[in-house]
Structure 1
């Protein structure tokens, strides 16, 4: 195995691990929504992210400089991340987390490929088309579409549709990050812009009350959401978009709903039904097909 193949294999393994972490983050973020609004929770999340990520950048001896040509991409990415934070947590508060998680994770790769076709005039290959089809069928199986209630019956689930669209567009911007400096430095500045977009809408009284709380459920979940999920897993995802493109990176998201179901079974004792297993395996097959040479 040459150096390039080894690097690609490592990136694949790290991406799979990141998607497993994303799966765990769904119930964790649902717990957080009981403590505050999406804006207030976003303040804590991206505050911790900026601190933890800059420590990582210092450890990696990464320069924080970004080319001036990259500033428009940086501002767009940061603004979209702020919007995603609102729609994502808003969906968890007002919609169905299970159905919403599947909607976002199924539609994300499909929207990313559709956007890529429009922007780059690039048609998906045969393997990519088969993989996308597997992914859509996986989502339908996971939703148990043949016997479930209308997933759009709850208005909050529309937030998840917006989340998928916003994430797809944002991934396209972050895929250009390597052209303007280190992808990790780009990501730090992106989170900085995100926090700056959130601060004007913050309720600082509510923030002060949460700072004084001793509830370990809040602090444990907010640290997991920020340091583990965002600083490590999400930053890895954005790094991958700069290396393999937004479309292929987004395909790994098909793994998320299955990992969420498995860990809900292992940790919370929730039922792991046959349609979940079939949908999860199809999602994994989708990732394999889309990234197959």
Structure 2
């Protein structure tokens, strides 16, 4: 019985990672219709609503423990930053490239920040992982032919900033794990980020989204209910039931699905530098996660 439940959870985790990969294409499509700030408002709004049944189903209280509030608030700020860079990057650049840069560089940047902030010790495998990951990132953004203007124009600077801001999200979330459960933590972080997004979008036609057709709303729903609620819940549930190391191994499928969906749906092309860079970056993440 236990093995059947684990098998079902593994299938759900594969599907969740595919949705995370698809979300980069969803964001690119949404960027055709509206600005990053309005995309953020409606993504957080829908995700907050969809998280309420999850809170009820899991029996968690909506009350934030006093010693956890600072983590929730800070994470809400960081998620606001991340989502802005995420939407702006996909609006300007290639969705597949963004999916590779952010998902592979994030654990590498997180490890480096942990050394700087928490004085963590790096093992030799972590150093080699960081070198491989940064080399991969250099190939993906074609560092040999790039200047600041190119980085801004093709969205890659936003992907790098998204990866860095998500690294801080990871560190804050790790620090909060003994203060509050991840489900109410996620719900309130998303809700706070939604409030910040409303302030950012002041002066914009916030209700203009109701003029858009089913294509906009389908992609927004997948981004909100699919990637942010379903994907996050399944991933953390798998981390508890299967173990964090086994669950994190499935994250390696995200860059592949991000590129795959962007090629199939958006018609993006995989050039040699992205392919080589992806292999370097994924190898680097593997080394860092290896026990």
| TM-score, normalization by structure 1 | 0.79
**Aligned positions, number:** 285
Unaligned 5+ segments in structure 1 are none
Residue 258 (structure 1) aligned with residue 260 (structure 2): no
> In 2, are the aligned partners of 1:237 and 1:249 still within 8 Å (CA)?
yes
Q: Which sits farther off after the overlay, 174-183 or 197-206?
A: 197-206
Q: Which has the higher contact order (CA 8 A, sep 6+)?
A: 2
Taking the aligned partners of 1:196 and 1:271, their CA distance within structure 2 comes to: 37
> In 2, are the aligned partners of 1:141 and 1:276 still within 8 Å (CA)?
yes
User: How far did 1:79 drift?
Assistant: 1.1
Q: Which sits farther off after the overlay, 279-288 or 110-119?
A: 279-288
Taking the aligned partners of 2:9 and 2:15, their CA distance within structure 1 comes to: 10
Q: Helix, strand or coil for the counterpart of 1:180?
A: coil
1:167-186 map, 5 Å: 167-186=166-185
Taking the aligned partners of 1:10 and 1:264, their CA distance within structure 2 comes to: 27
Q: Helix, strand or coil for the counterpart of 2:177?
A: helix
Alignment counterpart, residue 25 of structure 1, candidates 23, 27, 30 = 23
User: How far did 1:132 drift?
Assistant: 3.0
User: How far did 1:278 drift?
Assistant: 4.7
Residue 150 (structure 2) aligns with: 153
Alignment counterpart, residue 222 of structure 1, candidates 220, 223, 233 = 220
Taking the aligned partners of 2:130 and 2:204, their CA distance within structure 1 comes to: 46
User: How far did 1:259 drift?
Assistant: 2.2
1:126-275 map, 5 Å: 126-143=124-141, 150=147, 153-156=150-153, 157=155, 158-203=157-202, 206-211=205-210, 213=211, 215-235=213-233, 244=244, 255-267=253-265, 270-272=268-270
Q: Which sits farther off after the overlay, 74-83 or 200-209?
A: 200-209
> In 2, are the aligned partners of 1:57 and 1:185 still within 8 Å (CA)?
yes
Residue 79 (structure 1) aligned with residue 65 (structure 2): no
User: How far did 1:120 drift?
Assistant: 2.1
Residue 292 (structure 1) aligns with: 290
> In 1, are the aligned partners of 2:100 and 2:259 still within 8 Å (CA)?
no
| TM-score, normalization by structure 2 | 0.80
